[in-house]
Amino acid sequence: MIKLYDYIKPIYFIYILTQLWFLLLLFKVILLTIICYFVTIVIKEDFQQSQNYNIIYIHVPSAWISLLLYSSIALISLFYLIYKYSLISSIAKILAIIGINFSLITLITGSIWGKPTWGHFWVWDARLTSALILFILYLGYIIIYDFYDNIIKTNSSVLAILGFINIPIIKYSVYWWNTLHQSSSISINQSTLDLPIMYTLFISLLFFMLYSINIFLFEIKKYFIIYKIETFYIK
Amino acid sequence: MLIFFYILKKYFFFNYKKGHMTMNIFLYIILILLFGLIINISNISLDIKWGFLYIICFLIFLFSLENIYQLDNEDGTIDLLYITKNSLEFFIFIKSLIHWISYGFPLIIISPILMIFLKININNLMISSLYISTLSLSYLGILCCSLIIELNNKLFFIIIIIIPLYIPIIIYNSHIEYIYNIYSIYIYLIIIMYISTWLTSFIIKNNKKNL
């Protein structure tokens, strides 16, 4: 009987990845079409910010994904410290590479949006500063992971867990301090956003998540192929 | 108590003989004096003067963290402590304290004199904030340096790792209006002292076990 952990074995995993690849591509194309339709035709221009407002469909999902990925990395690092299974640390590293890109996209799109809205590309706001700290934490994690040649990746895992304190700070910074960045428009019970905008936002979030999953699966497949080659040569 | 004095003698005199201590103090004095010389102090607000003094003190202490494990790597103290049943946590705690005594305490001693050159009215809260900043940086630094103990050119990595964890202290201690909330930073310092001691020994033991 095939157990759940059998699917982590390279042979099963690579087979499943190949099947998923085209499916994910199809979904992404569909979602992108829907987003473009909503943005260009359905949703009207913002009365204050005009077309600048459309950055929300890149900025907000990127921010959410960078936070989600860092939280996942912290959790995975905790599991790594307990179980010391090298695949776990490799997964965390791949997530870190995806996360740092989204974190950078968040900062850049935020700056581009901030210039016409606030008049500055950057302000030392609580939300912006903590987002920058998140980027630096990602960078520190990847650097420590890569510069240690041995298999054991304890040090980077400890850093990831230590840096997790930044996640609630980013989330609640707009409530704890007087910030220029606006507070949350979406919560569990209610939303101040118009319905088409909210739906488009969630569809773009789904698109970016599928994109991240695509990259993640590609990198994992690469990891297994390299692992198989190394094992072959050692034998 | 004897262990404390033994470790103090070993590391303090090593740092002194290396010349880093005197160089740091000298650099601190020169930078503050140059700032006072080049810029018209009377026209600058207290915020900027205090911020400049704080940042220079922070940077100079940060640069001293590069050599925190230098003697231990040379003579194998940590390997010895890992093998024996002596407490590595106690050693780390004392070592951080002594690092602060060697590098941070002299900077704080001369800060009131340098504040006179910058025309800053000496305030107990300012001196307290310098104490807390340097002490917490010492404990955070030993934790961050244990993560990169085997790497060369540590300074770049130290900056990348320490800055995210040190930001709350920078924010609350470098702005004049926030210094009055200093009591909350005391709690942060106590938490850092406890966590960094335990975490550093965990990291070192893990690194040694897997070598």
User: Cβ(B108)–Cβ(B161) under 8 Å?
Assistant: no
Per-residue pLDDT reduced to its tens digit, B69-84: 877 877 788 788 777 7
pLDDT at A95: 95
For residue A130, give the nearest of A65, A62, A67 by alpha carbon. A67
pTM reported for the whole predicted model = 0.84
Per-residue pLDDT reduced to its tens digit, B142-153: 998 888 877 766
- Give the dihedral sign, CA B11/B13/B16/B19: negative
pLDDT at A97: 94
CA distance B150 to chain A (A): 8
CB contact under 8 A, B160 and A140: yes
CA distance A129 to chain B (A): 9
Q: What percent of chain A has pLDDT over 70?
A: 91
d(CA A158, CA B147): 8
Task: Match 């600048």 to its residue by tokens.
Answer: A52
Residues of A in contact with B146 (CB under 8 A): 155
pLDDT at B206: 82
Per-residue pLDDT reduced to its tens digit, A182-229: 777 776 677 777 788 888 889 999 999 999 999 998 888 888 778 777
> What are the phi and psi torsion angles at A186 (to 5°)?
-120, 130
d(CA A126, CA A148): 33
Q: What long-range pairs does B85-92 form, CB within 8 A, spacing at least 24?
A: B88/B201, B88/B204, B88/B205, B89/B197, B89/B198, B89/B201, B90/B3, B91/B7, B92/B142, B92/B196, B92/B197, B92/B200, B92/B201, B92/B204
CB contact under 8 A, B150 and A148: yes
Count residue pairs from A and B with Cβ separation < 8 A: 50
pLDDT at A212: 93
Q: Which two tokens stand for residue B147?
A: 């993560």
Per-residue pLDDT reduced to its tens digit, A108-133: 999 998 888 888 888 888 899 899 99
The beta-carbon neighbor of A154 closest among B163, B164, B206 is B206
Q: Which amino acid is at A135?
A: F
> What are the phi and psi torsion angles at B40 (to 5°)?
-75, 100
Question: Exposure pattern of B13-41 as b/e (b: 16+ CB <10 Å)?
Answer: ebbeeeebbeebbeebeebbeebbeeeee
Per-residue pLDDT reduced to its tens digit, B33-72: 888 888 888 888 888 888 888 889 889 888 888 888 877 8
- The region that residue A45 occupies, defined by phi over 0 for left and psi between -120 and 50 for alpha, beta otherwise, is beta
Q: Rounded mean pLDDT of B155-176?
A: 81
Interface of B with A in 63-122 (CB under 8 A): none
Q: Rounded mean pLDDT of A58-81?
A: 93
Residues of A in contact with B167 (CB under 8 A): 129, 133
CB contact under 8 A, A140 and B157: yes
Inform me whether the C-beta atom of residue B152 falls under 8 Å from chain A C-beta atoms: no
CA distance A59 to chain B (A): 22
- What is the rounded average pLDDT for all residues in chain B? 84
